Amino acid sequence: MPGFAPRLLPPAGSPAGPARPTAAADEDAARGTVVDRRGRPLRDLRLSVIDRCNFRCTYCMPREAFPADYAFMPPAERLSFAQLLKIARAFTQLGVEKIRITGGEPLLRRGLENLVEQLAQLTTLAGKPVEIALTTNGALLAAKARSLKDAGLQRVTVSLDALDDAVFRRMSDTDLPVARILDGIEAARAAGLAPLKVNTVVQRGVNDDQILPLVRHFKGSGVSVRFIEYMDVGGADRWSDGDVLTAAQARDLVAAAFPLVPLDQVRGADTAIRYRHADGGGEVGFIASVSQPFCGACTRARVAADGTLYTCLFATRGLSLRPWLDDHTCATQLAQAVRQRWTQRDDRYSELRASPRPRPGKVYPTVRMSLVGG
């Protein structure tokens, strides 16, 4: 893979990113949470419930790699809701405060509301309810938003790459109109799934002309749009660094049309660099995962639908949690296994890629995005 090192947003610190203050790491240890070799606590869990998807986004599941006869995980190999719940419980014992349900397309998993209902009963180490969120392509959201909210879902992020039907259909490789996704977003808003976010992956020359229409459409609606740099994750088989429109370039484009005011934020609390519209029309965000990586504050673990734990989006190998998922092993034993893995964690792929030479060559194959859900 060619190196990629534009630094168009002000650098956040050293080339390797900001180190986590020792005091913060000490505090985490005192609270009983687990920290990795770089002092990063385990705070967020992305739980993938299915590897299938009803879209074939060209940057994630290109049709040539995922044809009609592609061998997806047989349903019997997917974790059951009881197993997913056990995993979630173990992670909360280690300090996880947020669980994001993802996929593939999570709304394809039948009875998802039942899982949400059980996850919503979990509490953090501090005794607060664990935050349950969902990332979806929105195609099935209009039908499900109300029942998911009733089950205890708190937040939804909808992925939407264009307002123009032709651009949307080209990127997601479906026949659906954009209106279907907008109906889903409206249903989520009406159900009280707030704050609502829309995530847009920007590919230079493909949908960068959609940035301003998207900002205009959602301005003043309570929905914040976040523009994500196109990443060279597993699944992005056609990625090249020339396809990346950086967060700074996207921000400049938006700021030229809509006056923006930067929002104070603690880097790490959110991956997006956030701005508000100067006239009070809400927020927009820019996620600089390629040009200004945030590995130093990466507190996320990902579990694929077959029960494999990955500690980085670019991991080449994961740890199967299956041995701890039988009926004779309790969540605390599972938590011990995860603790051991997390304490060994040293991942920082994006920082190494963006740092001055020598850069690592990308090792293939990395885990596919559609397995670990972004």
Q: Which residues bind ligand SAM (CB under 6 A)?
A: 53, 59-60, 102-103, 105, 135-137, 159, 199, 201, 228, 230-231, 233, 235-236, 369-370, 373-374
- Residue numbers in the known binding site for S-adenosyl-L-methionine are 59, 104, 159, 231
**Residue 94 or residue 132: which is nearer to ligand SAM going by CB?**
132
Among 25, 35, 47, 53, binds ligand SF4 (CB under 6 A): 53
What count of residues does the chain have? 374
**Residue 59 or residue 275: which is nearer to ligand SAM going by CB?**
59
Measured from the CB of residue 237, what is the shortest distance to ligand SF4 in angstroms?
Answer: 12
Centre a 10 Å sphere on the Cβ of residue 367 and count the other Cβ atoms it contains.
21
Residue 294's binding partner among ligand SF4, ligand SAM, none (Cβ under 5 to 8 angstroms by kind) is ligand SF4
Q: What is the DSSP string of 50-109?
A: -S--S---TTTS-TTTS-TT--PPPGGGSPPHHHHHHHHHHHHHTT--EEEEESS-GGGS
Among 348, 354, 366, 367, binds ligand SF4 (CB under 6 A): 348
Measured from the CB of residue 271, what is the shortest distance to ligand SAM in angstroms?
Answer: 11
Residue 225's binding partner among ligand SAM, ligand SF4, none (Cβ under 5 to 8 angstroms by kind) is none
Residue 346 has phi, psi (to 5 degrees) of: -135, 15
Among 61, 130, 196, 223, binds ligand SF4 (CB under 6 A): 61
Site residues for ligand SF4, 304-323, by CB under 6 A, read 312-314
Q: Is 55 within 8 Å of 308 (Cβ atoms)?
A: no
- Rounded CA separation 43/98 (Å): 7
Centre a 10 Å sphere on the Cβ of residue 175 and count the other Cβ atoms it contains.
8
Q: What would the x/- binding string for ligand SF4 be over residues 261 to 300, using CB under 6 A?
A: --------------------------------xxx--x--
Site residues for ligand SF4, 76-105, by CB under 6 A, read 103-105
**Residue 43 or residue 100: which is nearer to ligand SAM going by CB?**
100
Q: How do strand 273-277 and strand 283-287 relate by DSSP bridges? A: antiparallel
Burial track 274-284 (b if 16+ CB lie within 10 A, e otherwise): bbbbeeebbbb
Q: Could you tell me which residues come within 8 angstroms of residue 176 by beta carbon, excluding any fewer than 6 positions away?
A: 139, 169
Q: What is the DSSP string of 115-170?
A: HHHHHTT-B-TTSPBPEEEEEE-STTHHHHHHHHHHHT--EEEEE---SSHHHHHH
Residue whose C-alpha is closest to residue 102's, from 143, 136, 75:
136
Beta bridge partners of 120: none
- Residue numbers in the known binding site for [4Fe-4S] cluster are 53, 57, 60, 295, 298, 312
Q: What is the CA radius of gyration of the chain?
A: 20
349 binds ligand SF4 (CB under 6 A): yes
Site residues for ligand SF4, 149-178, by CB under 6 A, read 159
Residue 330 has phi, psi (to 5 degrees) of: -90, 165
**Residue 193 or residue 236: which is nearer to ligand SAM going by CB?**
236
Residue 144's binding partner among ligand SF4, ligand SAM, none (Cβ under 5 to 8 angstroms by kind) is none
**Residue 238 or residue 256: which is nearer to ligand SF4 going by CB?**
238
**Residue 201 or residue 335: which is nearer to ligand SAM going by CB?**
201
41 binds ligand SF4 (CB under 6 A): no
- Rounded CA separation 225/349 (Å): 26
185 binds ligand SF4 (CB under 6 A): no
57 binds ligand SF4 (CB under 6 A): yes
229 binds ligand SF4 (CB under 6 A): no
- Residue numbers in the known binding site are 46, 53, 57, 59-60, 100, 104, 135, 159, 197, 231, 295, 298, 300-302, 312
- Rounded CA separation 204/314 (Å): 22
Q: Could you tell me which residues come within 8 angstroms of residue 14 by beta carbon, excluding any fewer than 6 positions away?
A: none
**Residue 79 or residue 94: which is nearer to ligand SAM going by CB?**
79
Binding site residues, ligand SF4, CB under 6 A? 53, 55-57, 60-61, 103-105, 137, 159, 293-295, 298, 312-314, 347-350, 370
